[in-house]
A = this chain, B = another copy of it.
């Protein structure tokens, strides 16, 4: 039997996981999925995710690649679905081109942040939306979001103080949509630094709450210091919602 590159799309409720990345003594999404794939293929399987979501962050679409012996796709997918826990879902599974790598081949990612802007709680979505009682000024937040878009050095929006590689990223767009009392902030970029999505949201929220001026965004970029940006917004509101690739015809 030959070996193949597989492309697996997962969704997960990150509530009870210590994030994506495999860790020695903690439950992580990568660790759990690798254990199950290793069982199915009866050999150790290592997987690459498109990105490492933080502890408590969710994914509607996490793309994963791995190499393994060629087995029938339908059979592997149904085994996966029967073995995965209820909070990790296998959305689909495909053979990918030989050079495909879920992280290195990705050209664009979208994270969506969910806010329930109301004094009245939403019990059903309580693990996926952050409740903010004070009314947010959405128009101000939209103006601020425009200042964040484009190509910048986002080092001030990164929690890793020892980050050595280029911290220049391009935010393609930030969409803020309101529906009833729910607010969603979708951020599309060529890549995100450690905690960047949550610090972007934390900064926008401070503006929406009137605690920060829009002009402070220029100062954050100029300072390159983490302390000048907003707080890191809570993990549970964040969800990886889309990953794009140059050639996606195989998906």
Contact = CB atoms under 8 A, between A and B. Distances in A.
A112 interface: no
A128 interface: yes
B128 A86 contact: no
Name which of A90, A120, A122, A124 has the most chain B CB atoms within 10 A of its CB: A124
A62 B95 CA distance: 49
Interface string A212-239: 0000000000000000000000000000
Contacts of A6: none
Nearest to A89: B121
Contact of A124 (B58, B91, B119): B58
A63 to B, nearest CB: 15
A128 B81 CA distance: 19
A47 B121 CA distance: 21
A12 B92 CA distance: 33
- Which 10 interchain pairs have the tightest Cβ spacing? A89-B121, A89-B123, A13-B123, A86-B126, A11-B123, A91-B120, A87-B123, A12-B123, A13-B124, A124-B128
